[in-house]
């Protein structure tokens, strides 16, 4: 755990947040500033700063996070209408919180363009 990482603090239960899923490896909670009616964040419990820091051995973790996102999309009722998974990596990739996270966005028609 990184003491000054807000997502590590959520994992540790030190910051209030609506945790909607957790297992040994990941937790998911609602984004505090939602960009769509459904906006969830799926994060590893372990502090991994960003996608670029994911080792080959940890690739399975990303697969697990995508699998959880798919399950949560079903639970939130957006698996049929559609949704978007986004990972921002680094400053120019739009990453603000330096703890790997997957955005799950849906519940409205999202923009056809990225960027």
We find the least distance from the C-beta atom of residue 98 to ligand AMP, in angstroms, to be 8
Active site residue 101: yes
User: Cβ closer to ligand AMP: 32 or 59?
Assistant: 32
DSSP string for 29-83: EE-SS-SSSEEEEEEESS---SGGG--GGGHHHHHHHHHHHHHHHHHTT-TTT-E
Smallest separation, CB 75 to ligand AMP (Å):
18
Q: Which residues bind ligand AMP (CB under 6 A)?
A: 6, 15, 17, 29, 31-33, 41, 88, 94-97
User: Which residues have a Cβ under 8 Å from the Cβ of 23 and sit 6 or more positions away?
Assistant: 68
Q: Which residues are catalytic?
A: 101
């Amino acid at each position: 755990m990184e003491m000054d990482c807000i997502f590590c603090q959520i994992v540790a239960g030190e910051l209030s947040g609506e945790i909607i899923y957790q297992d040994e490896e990941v937790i998911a909670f609602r984004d505090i500033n939602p960009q769509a009616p459904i906006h969830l964040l799926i994060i590893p419990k372990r502090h991994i700063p960003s996608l670029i820091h994911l080792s080959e051995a940890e690739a399975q973790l990303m697969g697990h996070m995508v699998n959880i996102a798919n399950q949560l999309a079903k639970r939130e009722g957006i698996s049929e209408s559609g949704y978007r998974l986004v990972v921002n990596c680094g400053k120019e990739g739009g990453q603000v919180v330096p703890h790997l996270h997957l955005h799950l966005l849906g519940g409205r028609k999202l923009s056809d363009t990225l960027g």
